[in-house]
Amino acid sequence: MSTDRLLEFDDVVARYEPVFGLETHVELGTASKMFCGCSTTFGAEPNTQTCPVCLALPGALPVANAAAIEATIRIGLALGCRIATWCRFARKNYFYPDIPKGFQTSQYDEPLCTAGHLDVEVDGETYRVEIERVHLEEDTGKNLHVGGATGRIHGADHSLVDFNRAGIPLVEIVTRPVPGVGAKAPEVARAYVAELREILLALGVSEVRMERGNLRCDVNTSLAPTGSLEWGTRTETKNVNSLRSVERSVRYEMRRQAALLDDGERILQETRHFHEDTGSTSAGRSKEEATDYRYFPEPDLVPMAPDAGWVEQLRAELPELPAARRARLREEWGISDTEMAWLVNAGALGLVTDTVSAGADPAEARKWWLGELSRRAKDAGVELTDLAVTPAQVAELTQLVAEGTVNDQLARQVLDGVLAGEGSPRQVVDSRGLAVMGDSDELGAAVDAAIAGAPDVVEKVRGGKTAALGALVGAVMKETRGKADAATVRRMLEERVLGG
Ligand SMILES: [Zn+2]
């Protein structure tokens, strides 16, 4: 429940200029943790994936995970960053029950990657988001507060700590502040995270499942009166865990801060919590300054000095990145920017690509995924990728339509069978008897029956009212339960009612 006063969004952007920035944490998908050999598999029994290193027992020494360093450099390269030729880990000192060492091994003034950028598109406009740094650190454990209503520490009977997550490699990607986007700020922030997620997927460095916390955002937002030379005081909304929430949190902070500034009040520099249910933020602790962490170089780890030749090899081996891929597919499929945006927003681009690879016509593949299948996913309240149909099966379905085995209406019934687990589209056509009836004796009998059953209609048609034929077509389609081809039925009716 929020009691914040909020200004209407249109009034905010009429009088104030927003600046936002994002710190994004990505859990890497390495098999083992950052500084020990413990497994990183999600969902294990609490505290079963731990060892003296990640529990920080006395005398245990860390060894850096080479795969995590490589993944971080690849992320940096994909974001156009400079890769450090020499850098170090640093200790970030703070006490919290979920960090057993009493400090987090992170990077401070010597990050692995610096000075990159990411271009994002919103409504056909391109916005450049500058990347300040990409650095490598380790995740914390997880506190579980038991006995309270909210899962928060307030009101809980006791708390438990699960260290399975402690020490999982975490990459932090920090943008520079993004000014000058005005009313588009919430959408550009969201588009940035969406594009970043696509890049991470293309690189294969993380599963980036936001609902599992593989990717978590801290969103900085500030406002200054339009035309002001100085930026306003920023707030930092922590752990924003969905694309929609990124957009909502920026919008909410803009409206909340504007109402305060309108009343001549000051914005407090503080961290804030985002509430998914209401879309609001509430005050957390006031923000520590960097010096509070007493950073110093990690003495237990050797510095990192990536070999220039190796970095160039990693650069040469980067996969096709999402923006380049979209441009290529737009060209190959002959579709517009807007049509591509629909595919991306529907989460259908990969599915359509795979369906085309399996032999479907691009236009047909788009039609099925954006139309019928999107509707089914929406009705079932699931993502497109969660539907029990594969791109290869959709390709087979379009093939059945193209060769005339089924029409669109029958194809939807075929889909019912596939989604119900009855097998491939061809198997469902056979088992449910869904093939279109050709000019067969069976169809001929249905046509004759329709003619015999409606002499008045036949009279009208013969008298020149050919539009009345539609009623007879409808009768045959009904009789054959949609399995006849309407054009064939019409031709057969014309032959028998009017023909020679
Ligand atoms: Zn361990």
Provide mean pLDDT across the span 332-348. 88
Buried/exposed 189-204: b ≥16 CB within 10 Å, e otherwise = bbbbbbbbbbbbebbe
- Distance (angstroms) between ligand 1 centre and the Cα of 38 equals 4
What is the per-residue pLDDT across 95-123, written as a single tens digit (0 to 9) for each? 888 999 999 999 999 999 999 999 998 88
State yes or no: pLDDT of 47 exceeds 50.
yes
Q: Taking the model in full, what pTM does it have?
A: 0.79
- Distance (angstroms) between ligand 1 centre and the Cα of 89 equals 18
State yes or no: pLDDT of 482 exceeds 80.
no
- Distance (angstroms) between ligand 1 centre and the Cα of 304 equals 21
Residues 271 and 285 sit within 8 Å (Cβ to Cβ): yes
Q: Rounded to whole angstroms, how far apart are CA atoms 60 and 62? A: 7
- Distance (angstroms) between ligand 1 centre and the Cα of 297 equals 21
Q: Residue 399 has which token pair?
A: 């093939």
Q: Rounded to whole angstroms, how far apart are CA atoms 22 and 20? A: 7
What is the per-residue pLDDT across 178-222, written as a single tens digit (0 to 9) for each? 998 999 999 999 999 999 999 999 999 998 888 888 899 999 999
Quick one: what percent of the chain has pLDDT higher than 90?
Answer: 61
- Distance (angstroms) between ligand 1 centre and the Cα of 40 equals 9
Buried/exposed 388-401: b ≥16 CB within 10 Å, e otherwise = ebebbbbbbbbbbb
Q: Which of 197, 187, 206 is nearest to 71 (CA)?
A: 206
Q: Residue 232 has which token pair?
A: 């306003």
pLDDT given at position 283: 87
Distance of CA 258 to the CA centre of its chain: 30
- Distance (angstroms) between ligand 1 centre and the Cα of 298 equals 18
In the structure, what pLDDT confidence band is assigned to residue 1 with cuts at 50, 70 and 90? very low
pLDDT given at position 290: 54
Q: Rounded to whole angstroms, how far apart are CA atoms 247 and 170? A: 23
- Distance (angstroms) between ligand 1 centre and the Cα of 53 equals 5
- Distance (angstroms) between ligand 1 centre and the Cα of 100 equals 11
State yes or no: pLDDT of 432 exceeds 90.
no
- Distance (angstroms) between ligand 1 centre and the Cα of 309 equals 31
In the structure, what pLDDT confidence band is assigned to residue 371 with cuts at 50, 70 and 90? very high
- Distance (angstroms) between ligand 1 centre and the Cα of 30 equals 13
In the structure, what pLDDT confidence band is assigned to residue 149 with cuts at 50, 70 and 90? confident
